[in-house]
C-alpha cells in the first residue's frame, strides 16, 4: 500500500484498526507475534521509553542498541533490557570508527530537554538544544523507517523545531508533532510531553496523535460520564487514573534508605525531616493545600523568600489529591519545597516507589544506583504508559502494508 493510497483509507477503518491493536497489546497478544521490530533508544536514560515500546507493555519491539551519558542510567537500562546500552558522550561515540550502529526499524529518544525547559533561566544558547543533530545521525546510520523524539512542550514552535523538521524532511521523512498529556493515556499524572514522529513510507498524521484511552471526569468543572469530543477517544474510555489508584495500597514507609527487600517495598522509604518541616507538614493537612495556605495559617513557619514571592509557585509545598492524577513528577520529588509532592494524607513527601508508580513504572522494573540517582532516573523518564500509546502508532505505521 503506497502513501497516496493510505491517505484515501476511510477514517473509520483506521479507528477500528487502532482499537484492535490497543486491545491486542493490552491483552498480551501482540508481544507473542512473530513480526517483531528492532529498536534503538538514543539518550535512553533509565529506559522509560524503551519500556513503553517493549514486551513489558505488551509491544513487539526489541531494543538492539542504546546510549546514555550517565553510568547509573546505563546500569539500569542494561539490567532491564540486555547488555547493549553504551556509556559516553554521543558525539564521541559517533566519531569513533570502531562503533557500528546496527540497523533498526525505529529510533526513539529524548535529547536532553533542559535547553528548552522554562526552568532553565539560561536556555538561550544552551548547547543541549543541539543534541538532536547526533540523534538524526543515528537515524540515518540505522536506516530506520520511523523515528520518535520526545521533549518538553516548549520545543514545538522553537527555532530548533523548524530545523528538526527541515532535516527530517530532507532525509525523506514525513513528520507530525503534538503535545500529549500522560493522564489521557492511563498514567496517574498530568505530565505533558512533546512528541515529534517521522515516517518514510506514510504520513504519520493519519494515525498520530494516538486516540486517548482516559478522560478527565471533572473537565470544565462538571462531572462527565462521556468525553465531550468522543472522536478523540478509543471505545469506552476510562476516567483518569488517580493518586489513589496508584499508591493507596502501600503501607507507611520504613527507614530512610533503599531496603534489601522485594519490590515494591525496596524503594518505599522515607526521609528524616527537621522538626520545622514536620510542623509545616502538619499545618497544611488538607488535600490541595500549598505554600500560600501555610503562609495564611502560620506565617511564622513560612520561609521569608516565600512571603516575598507573592505570585506563582502555587504547587510549592503542595499536598496531592487522592482522587486526581499527580502533577509532573520531577527529579527532586522527595523535597516538598520543590513542588506538589506531599502525600495526600500522611505528613511526608512521596517515596521513590510512589513516584515510580505515578510515572507508570511497574514494581518489577529494576533501578540501579544511589537513592539520589534513582530519583533522577524516575523524574527524567517519559512515563512508559504514555510511550506505549506512541508505540501503538509506530506499530501501525510499520504494519500498514499488511492490513
Look at residue 116 in the predicted model and tell me its pLDDT: 45
Q: Work out the percent of the chain whose per-residue pLDDT is above 90.
A: 80
User: Which phi and psi angles does 219 have, rounded to 5°?
Assistant: -60, 135
| Summary mean pLDDT of the chain | 91
**Considering only 72-86, 215-229, 234-248, which range has the smallest mean pLDDT?**
215-229
Look at residue 228 in the predicted model and tell me its pLDDT: 58
Look at residue 401 in the predicted model and tell me its pLDDT: 73
Look at residue 2 in the predicted model and tell me its pLDDT: 41
Which residue did the predictor score with more confidence, 170 or 13? 170
Q: Is CATH 3.40.50.620 the right assignment for the domain spanning 3-240+383-402?
A: no
The DSSP output letter for 184 is G
Look at residue 14 in the predicted model and tell me its pLDDT: 84
Active site residue ranges: 113
Tens digits of per-residue pLDDT, 246-282?
Answer: 999 999 999 999 999 999 999 999 999 999 999 999 9
Q: In 3D, which of 391, 385, 381, 368 has the Cα closest to residue 62?
A: 391
Confidence of residue 118 (pLDDT cuts 50, 70, 90): very low
Confidence of residue 120 (pLDDT cuts 50, 70, 90): very low
- Three-state DSSP state, 391: helix
pLDDT above 70 (res 1): no
Domain segments of the chain: what residues? Answer: 3-240+383-402, 245-380
For residue 367, give every residue at least 6 positions away whose Cβ sits within 8 Å of its Cβ, in sequence order, or none. Answer: 46, 76, 267, 352, 356, 374, 377, 378
Grid coordinates given for 362: 511497574
Residue 20: CA count within 13 A, CB half-sphere:
8
Look at residue 32 in the predicted model and tell me its pLDDT: 80
CA pair distance 96, 99, nearest whole angstrom? 6
CA pair distance 380, 77, nearest whole angstrom? 14
CATH level 2 (architecture), domain 245-380: Alpha-Beta Complex (3.90)
Q: What is the mean pLDDT of residues 195-223?
A: 88
CA pair distance 64, 103, nearest whole angstrom? 9
pLDDT above 90 (res 3): no
pLDDT above 70 (res 119): no
Look at residue 225 in the predicted model and tell me its pLDDT: 52
pLDDT above 70 (res 85): yes
Look at residue 391 in the predicted model and tell me its pLDDT: 97
Confidence of residue 403 (pLDDT cuts 50, 70, 90): low
Q: What is the mean pLDDT of residues 340-364?
A: 98
Confidence of residue 129 (pLDDT cuts 50, 70, 90): low
Q: In 3D, which of 309, 273, 314, 322 has the Cα closest to residue 291?
A: 314
Confidence of residue 18 (pLDDT cuts 50, 70, 90): very high
Grid coordinates given for 140: 540515518
Amino acid at each position: 500500500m503506497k502513501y497516496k493510497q493510505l491517505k484515501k483509507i476511510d477514517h473509520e477503518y483506521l479507528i477500528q484498526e487502532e482499537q484492535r491493536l490497543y486491545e491486542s497489546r493490552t491483552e498480551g497478544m501482540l508481544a507473542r507475534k512473530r513480526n517483531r521490530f528492532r529498536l534503538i533508544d538514543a539518550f535512553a536514560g533509565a529506559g522509560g521509553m524503551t519500556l513503553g515500546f517493549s514486551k513489558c507493555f505488551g509491544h513487539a519491539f526489541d531494543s538492539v542498541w542504546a546510549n546514555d551519558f550517565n553510568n547509573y542510567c546505563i546500569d539500569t537500562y542494561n539490567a532491564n533490557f540486555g547488555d547493549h546500552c553504551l556509556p559516553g558522550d554521543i558525539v564521541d561515540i559517533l566519531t569513533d570508527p570502531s562503533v557500528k550502529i546496527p540497523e533498526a526499524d525505529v529510533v526513539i529518544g529524548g535529547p536532553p530537554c533542559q535547553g528548552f525547559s522554562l526552568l532553565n533561566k539560561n536556555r538561550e544558547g544552551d548547547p543541549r538544544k543541539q543534541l538532536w543533530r547526533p540523534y538524526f545521525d543515528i537515524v540515518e546510520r540505522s536506516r530506520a523507517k520511523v523515528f520518535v523524539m520526545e521533549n518538553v512542550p516548549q520545543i514545538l514552535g522553537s527555532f530548533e523545531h523548524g530545523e528538526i523538521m527541515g532535516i527530517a524532511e530532507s532525509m525523506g521523512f514525513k513528520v507530525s508533532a503534538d503535545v500529549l498529556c500522560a493522564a489521557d493515556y492511563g498514567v496517574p499524572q498530568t505530565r505533558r510531553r512533546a512528541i515529534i514522529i517521522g515516517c518514510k513510507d506514510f504520513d504519520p498524521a493519519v494515525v498520530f496523535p494516538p486516540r486517548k484511552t482516559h478522560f478527565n471526569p471533572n473537565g470544565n468543572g462538571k462531572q462527565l460520564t462521556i468525553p465531550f469530543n468522543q472522536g478523540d477517544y478509543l471505545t469506552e474510555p476510562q476516567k483518569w487514573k488517580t493518586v489513589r489508584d496508584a499508591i493507596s495500597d502501600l503501607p507507611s514507609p520504613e527507614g530512610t534508605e533503599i531496603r534489601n527487600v522485594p519490590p515494591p517495598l525496596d524503594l518505599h522509604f522515607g526521609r528524616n525531616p527537621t522538626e520545622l518541616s514536620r510542623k509545616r507538614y502538619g499545618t497544611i493537612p488538607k488535600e490541595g493545600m500549598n505554600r500560600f495556605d501555610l503562609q495564611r495559617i502560620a506565617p511564622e513557619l513560612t520561609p521569608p523568600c516565600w512571603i516575598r514571592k507573592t505570585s506563582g509557585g502555587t504547587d510549592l509545598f503542595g499536598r496531592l489529591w487522592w482522587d486526581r492524577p499527580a502533577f509532573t513528577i520531577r527529579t527532586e520529588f522527595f523535597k516538598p519545597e520543590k513542588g506538589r509532592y506531599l502525600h495526600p494524607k500522611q505528613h511526608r513527601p512521596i517515596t521513590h516507589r510512589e513516584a515510580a508508580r505515578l510515572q507508570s513504572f511497574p514494581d518489577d522494573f529494576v533501578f540501579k544506583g544511589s537513592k539520589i540517582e534513582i530519583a533522577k532516573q524516575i523524574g527524567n523518564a517519559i512515563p512508559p504508559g504514555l510511550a506505549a500509546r506512541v508505540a501503538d502508532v509506530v506499530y501501525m505505521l510499520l504494519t500498514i502494508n499488511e492490513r
